[in-house]
Structure 1
Amino acid sequence: MKKRNLISTLVMLGAVGTVLAGCGSNNASSNGSSDASDHSGKITAVGSTALQPLVEKAAGNFQKDNKKIDITVQGGGSGQGLSQVQDGAVAIGNSDIFAESKDGVDAKKLVDHKVAVVGMAPVVNKDAGVDNVTMSQLKDIFTGKITNWKELGGKDEKITVVNRAQGSGTRATFEDAVLKGATAVKSQEQDSNGTVQKIVSSTPGAISYLAFSYLNDQVKPLSIDKVKPTDANVETNKWKIWSYEHMYTNGKAKNATADFIKYMDSESVQKDLVKKMGYISIHNMKVEKDSKGAVTDK
């Protein structure tokens, strides 16, 4: 009898150990590793240059654990990303804007995966001599009414406006928040945040706007109405110029694409990589914005 009881006890302990081992494995997955997938294939993601650095870095990390999945990330602007994913040319269309905002795109065919939030700030060449503008003054600069920095207490120097190209989600977000339907002044246009950053840093009197992830010590971000462009101010909508970073799929994401999008919402991306790279976790927002731009508390 004693021998039978001993065997029963050992069997029970073995079962408990197996359960605990399984729990430990699940916990490791939930804490951010890019779980290895049985899927294979090639994923191409095209679109927003504001989102591009995050997706590129995440893709590199994801592929370390998923050798059978090959991910290519390209820029080109939000408009191109939405158009190409709608046409089935790519698996993922990266965008700073809602699909509903883009002419020629049938948003009903696309599935929206919000993976981060990006703040955007007006930036000037460091010699402009201005640290803060009002929203009204910023509008007047980009519509051509204010043309010299001395009008704002800065250097006696002509303002050179650098805009993003039509189709850019960064431009659409900036103009929605600042211009409010007014027509932008004719200016040079550039296709990417990276190019804008270089031009503003090297052109006296230049002004443009960049995603927070592209801010560095080579350009000066401006405060607006004494509000600084910080993550905390974006999270409460105190800073008004921000957008979601969307990864759109044509219909429900499947197989390798679904695995990668799931990884973008993992702890290792949302709690670590997003912050390191100058973005804001989707889970940190205290407000939410709909496709028409209306902001409400969560």
Structure 2
Amino acid sequence: MKKLKFGTILAAFLLTATACGTDNTDTNGGNGDDSTGESNGGDSAEEASGSILVAGSSAMEPLVAAASEEFMNENMEASISVQAGGSGQGLSSIASGQVQIGNSDVFAEEKEDIPAEDLVDHRIAVVGMGPAAHPEVGVEDLSTEDMISIFTGEITNWSELGGADQEIVLVNRPDSSGTRDTFVKYGLEDNEPASGITEDSSNTVRQIISETEGAIGYLAFSYYDESGAVLPLSVDGVEQTDENVMSGDFPIWAYMHSYTNGEPEGLTKAFIDYLMSDFVQDELIPEMGYIPETGMQVERNAAGEESAK
């Protein structure tokens, strides 16, 4: 397997995000994918075929979209369409049978009106998240207290924190977003953000922050790159790094779940198996800014309780 470069993958994803969201699949339900043949991480002698739809977490979309492209390159008769829309949409869509895989960066048990007992959780990876600002705000580190004050509207100008004399522009995700849920719970200590710009896609949030003076929002680590278009802010002196998430020093992170409605079969199972393959887990996940769960020194349950792993 040819090793992929993160910058190439992310650039391609950002340019083709809309195309990845094109629905060209059968949406007959969680296990109702139109498929023949089985595949286990691309190693089966018989190619997988058919079509499935994957939707949900935008924090997961770059990884799942890249993995689907690699999978389809190896299985020419398979069609996997990947859409975002937020974790809430992913969970409601898999619960109602509109998609074959629902991606979420929150546990199904955390969302109201989701029959979590009917869904099967395939935990793919871990994603770190944190505050991201326009690179010219003049601030590189926030205390948790100041971060809460910014997002709740108490601090309205960067000069109040020793930064540029620039009005703070808040960029939020909607209530259905798992990224928002994670950031509010583990970053803002359950304080709800003030109103501001609200965007459905993390990709759009990234673009707005990069183009808007004084802007701040929150992004998964996978949306940072070497271009410096957005500035990841440290929190309480702790940088947004994989190592700090794995050690438990940086608290804003979530599991990346791919849910199926019952045990997966056919192409759905083949793609889930591929997401757990050595290539995706050992190469693609770290290259694209995500964290293999095997590297975590801490773990959490659906109630948010954390313990040593």
Identify the TM-score tier after normalising by the shorter chain.
0.7 to 0.9
Aligned-pair CA distance for 1:81: 0.6
Unpaired runs of 5+ residues, structure 2, are 1-38
* Change over 3 Å in CA distance of 1:176–1:153 after alignment to 2: same
Q: CA deviation at 1:61?
A: 1.0
Within 5 Å, which residues of 2 pair with 1:122-141? 122-141=131-150
Which of 1 and 2 has greater Rg? Answer: 1
Which of 171, 178, 186 is the equivalent residue of 1:162?
171
Map 1:60-71 → 2, pairs under 5 A: 60-71=69-80
Checking the alignment, whether the CA contact within 8 Å between 2:50 and 2:79 is kept in structure 1 is yes
How far the C-alpha of 1:209 sits from its partner, in A, is: 0.7
2:131 corresponds to 1:118: no
**What is the TM-score when the length of structure 1 is the normalising length?**
0.87
Report deviation, 1:256. Answer: 1.4
Give, as a single letter, the amino acid of the residue that structure 2 aligns with 1:81.
G
Corresponding residue to 1:151 among 160, 166, 180: 160
* Count of equivalent residues: 269
Contact kept, 8 Å, 1:193 with 1:210, in 2: the verdict is yes
Gaps of 5+ in 1: 1-28
Asked whether 1:270 is paired with 2:281, we answer: yes
- Alpha-carbon distance change, 57 to 134 in structure 1, aligned in 2, over 3 angstroms: same
Structure 1 residue 40: deviation in Å?
2.8
CA distance in structure 1 between the aligned counterparts of 2:46 and 2:89, rounded to whole angstroms? 29
Structure 1's 282 and 173: CA in aligned 2 closer, same or farther, altered over 3 A? same
Of 35, 38, 46, which residue of structure 1 is paired with 2:44?
35
Are 1:231 and 2:242 counterparts? yes
Residue 174 of structure 1 corresponds to which residue in structure 2?
Answer: 183
Deviation at 1:273, TM superposition (A): 0.5
- Aligned twin of 1:103: 112
Pick closer, same or farther for the CA change 1:254–1:183 going to 2, 3 Å. Answer: same
62, 66, 83: which is aligned to 1:53? 62
For residues 181-192 of structure 1, the aligned pairs below 5 Å read 181-192=190-201
Q: What is the CA distance between 1:218 and its match in structure 2?
A: 0.5
How far the C-alpha of 1:131 sits from its partner, in A, is: 0.6
Aligned-residue CA RMSD (Å): 1.5
Q: Deviations over 1:104-151 (max 9, x none)?
A: 101001000010111012011111100101011101111111111111
1:249 aligns with 2:260: yes
For normalisation by structure 2, the TM-score amounts to 0.84
The one-character-per-residue Cα deviations of 1:255-291 (angstroms, maximum 9, x if unpaired) are 2111110111111001100111111112211111111
Q: Which of the two has greater helix per residue? A: 1
Match of 1:259 among 270, 275, 297: 270
Specify the alignment match of 1:78 in structure 2: 87
